[in-house]
């Protein structure tokens, strides 16, 4: 397209550094470099593939992150917390993250020096596939992207613009409210899908795979997700996940007759979701 090259506001002129070039980080690098931004990649892995694709301009070590104008921590949640504690971010930098649990990140960010603009974030995007090999520029298309509350100003405006540039929609939500909702909408589905797949495997019955219909297979698809990421998420959001699991178990244990109201509520939710996915 013949659009003029993007000119960021003076204060954030400079490279966007993406720390953690897995599925999320590499997809960000791909989409933002395609939009004309200078992107640095930082990862323990060799990023020659991303350099060759033009998704990043340089591979930098963590020591160079304080030189970037904008730093995106696209690491597993424990890595985000560790990075906030260890990297000497500088006043004037905009720092954000993509972690699926927000309260511990918000807490860790309190150690940042005055003048570092930290805005926690979480794109509701992902895949059971992981690593930069699975990255794609349209990963965030149509996704919601939670941002923690922060003062209005150029940092937030810049970040919201970058999110919209990815085809995603920024929305504001407190860390506590976010963590409680995603315990139900994301963390329990993962936990239950994995546990059910493990129960089926434990049956050790050669007919079990054959007696898995289309609905069961869809339900189990999340069970392909990698443990290391989910270990972080499930342990950092342990309280909300445990509460939600107990509530869910109580609900599912009700007598069948009492579940009619749940089926009604569930049918309504699904109809609403079907309508909204048709809209998008």
Q: Which of residues 187-216 bind a second copy (CB under 8 A)?
A: 188-203, 205, 207-216
107 contributes a contact to a second copy by CB under 8 A: no
Q: How far apart are CA 272 and CA 6, in angstroms?
A: 37
Residue 129 sits in the site that holds a second copy (CB under 8 A):
no
Q: Is residue 152 near a second copy by the rule CB under 8 A?
A: no
Q: Which of the residues 230 through 269 are near a second copy (CB under 8 A)?
A: 230-231, 234-235, 238, 242, 244-245, 247-249, 251-253, 256-257, 259-269
Q: Choose one: 50-58, 61-69, 84-92, 138-146; the region binding a second copy (CB under 8 A).
A: 138-146
Kindly state whether residue 134 participates in binding a second copy, applying the rule CB under 8 A.
Answer: no
Given a contact cutoff of 8 angstroms between Cβ atoms, the answer to whether 25 and 72 are in contact is yes
Answer yes or no whether residue 182 interacts with a second copy by CB under 8 A.
yes
- Chain residues 161-180 in contact with a second copy, contact rule CB under 8 A: 171, 173, 177-178, 180
- Residues touching a second copy: how many (CB under 8 A)? 90
- The verdict on 222 binding a second copy (CB under 8 A) reads yes
- Contact with a second copy (CB under 8 A) among 34, 111, 129, 271: 271
Helix (H) or strand (E) holding 179: helix 175-182
Q: Per rule CB under 8 A, is residue 141 in the interface with a second copy?
A: no
Question: CB-wise, 111 or 273, nearer to a second copy?
Answer: 273
Instruction: Report CA-CA distances (Å) from 146 to 37, 127, 141.
Output: 22, 18, 14
Q: Which residues contact 187 (CB under 8 A, 6 or more apart)?
A: 100, 233, 234, 237, 240, 241, 244
**CA of residue 280 relative to chain centroid, distance:** 20
Instruction: Rule CB under 8 A: say whether 218 interacts with a second copy.
Output: yes
Residue 121 makes CB contacts below 8 A (sequence gap 6+) with 96, 97, 98, 145, 146, 147, 148, 159, 163
Place of tokens 């950092």: 236
Q: What size, in residues, is the chain? A: 280
Other Cβ atoms closer than 10 A to 48: 9
Q: Is 186 in the site for a second copy (CB under 8 A)?
A: yes
Please state the closest distance from residue 175 (CB atom) to a second copy, in A. 13
């Amino acid at each position: 397209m013949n659009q003029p090259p993007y000119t960021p506001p003076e204060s954030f002129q400079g490279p966007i550094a993406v720390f953690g070039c897995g599925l999320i980080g590499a997809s960000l690098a791909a989409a933002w470099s395609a939009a004309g931004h200078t992107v640095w990649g930082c990862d323990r892995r060799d990023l020659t593939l991303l350099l060759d694709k033009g998704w990043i301009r340089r591979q930098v070590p963590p020591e160079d992150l304080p030189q970037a104008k904008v730093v995106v921590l696209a690491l597993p949640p424990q890595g985000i917390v560790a990075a906030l504690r260890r990297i000497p971010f500088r006043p004037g930098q905009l720092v954000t993250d993509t972690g699926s649990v927000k309260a511990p990140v918000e807490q860790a960010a309190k150690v940042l020096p005055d003048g570092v603009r930290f805005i926690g974030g979480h794109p509701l995007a992902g895949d059971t596939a992981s690593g930069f090999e699975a990255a794609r520029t349209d990963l965030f298309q149509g996704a919601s992207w939670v941002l923690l509350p922060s003062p209005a100003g150029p940092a937030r405006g810049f970040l919201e613009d970058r999110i919209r540039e990815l085809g995603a929609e920024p929305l504001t939500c407190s860390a506590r409210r976010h963590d409680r909702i995603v315990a139900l909408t994301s963390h329990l589905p993962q936990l239950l899908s994995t546990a059910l797949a493990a129960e089926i495997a434990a049956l050790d019955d050669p007919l079990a795979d054959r007696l898995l219909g289309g609905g069961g297979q869809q339900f189990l698809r999340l069970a392909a997700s990698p443990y290391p990421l989910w270990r972080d998420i499930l342990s950092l959001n342990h309280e909300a996940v445990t509460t939600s699991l107990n509530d869910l178990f109580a609900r599912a244990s009700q007598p069948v007759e009492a579940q009619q109201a749940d089926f009604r509520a569930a049918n309504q939710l699904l109809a609403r979701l079907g309508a909204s996915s048709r809209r998008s």
